[in-house]
Amino acid sequence: MRPTLLCVLASFILTIVILAWLLFIPLVATIPFTMLFPAFVVTSKLFGRILGASDSGPSNFVAAVLASSVLNVIFYAAVFFLLSKLGRFTRLWFSKVR
């Protein structure tokens, strides 16, 4: 339970940093947008018709970014969890190979 909670906490903190960087420092926003891109694509596919229905472009972008932040926490928690277990899996695999 503890590694899972740490992975979720780390992904939440990373997502907050990415969102703050993307929304408040728009001049160099390519790096955080790249890190948010997988969740942004999934959110756009799921909620694209709802978010694209009005004429307000900037507020739709902010709504899409905030909606994709939930998926971003889930994606990065999974990545952090797999990276934390990678050493154990490789040790088990190498011990079985020998």
H or E, element range at 57 = helix 57-97
Give the tokens for residue 39. Answer: 């969740």
> What is the pLDDT tens value at each position of the chain, 98 positions in all?
688 888 888 889 988 888 888 878 877 778 887 888 888 788 878 777 766 655 666 667 777 777 788 888 888 888 888 888 888 888 877 787 76
Q: Cα–chain-centroid distance for residue 55?
A: 27
Q: Where are the domains of the chain?
A: 2-97
Angle between the N-to-C axes of helices 2-24 and 57-97, in degrees from 0 to 180, rounded to the nearest 10: 150
pTM: 0.69
Burial of 43 (0-12, 13-18, 19+ CB in 10 A): buried
pLDDT computed for residue 98 by the predictor: 66
pLDDT computed for residue 3 by the predictor: 80
Specify the 3-state DSSP secondary structure of 55.
coil
